[in-house]
Amino acid sequence: MSTGIRRGTSSLAMIAETIRNDIATGVPETDSVRLLFGFADDFRGSDEAGKTALIEQEPQPTGDRKFDAALAGEAEFFAREAGLPVPPWVNGPGRFAVPWYFIASMSGLHAYVLAHTPIVFKRHGVFIPREAFNRA
């Protein structure tokens, strides 16, 4: 069975590997955050089988718990959005950020982000406003 994955798309497992390498080499955190945002377009541009393939494999730890939690939040958020089963790995150890992770670095934005974060991300301790995934 072939999957209709948008060309050039990385699965969450592949994104985790890139983030792990970025952390090890000192790449700015903002680059890793961009990967999280970009996944939305690629996921939505894939067919159902492709979407499943993008989220089903458990990503290896990145070396930073906040990104491990964010990847779980993405898998759960997009699975629910597409009406797909949520991969069981999203509830595994290390998939919840402690302390909470706010994508917005400015503390003055935390109240806004708290109010506009989808519940599945909040569950993982990751606070990212829904509109971050609605890019033009």
Are the beta carbons of 45 and 9 closer than 8 angstroms?
yes
Closest by Cα among 68, 59, 36 to 133 = 36
> How high is the pLDDT of residue 107?
74
Q: What is the mean pLDDT of residues 14-21?
A: 97
Full-model pTM? 0.91
Q: Please count the residues of the chain.
A: 136
Task: For residue 43, name the pLDDT band (cuts at 50, 70, 90).
Answer: very high
Q: What is the mean pLDDT of residues 10-14?
A: 95
Q: How many CB atoms lie within 10 A of CB 36?
A: 21
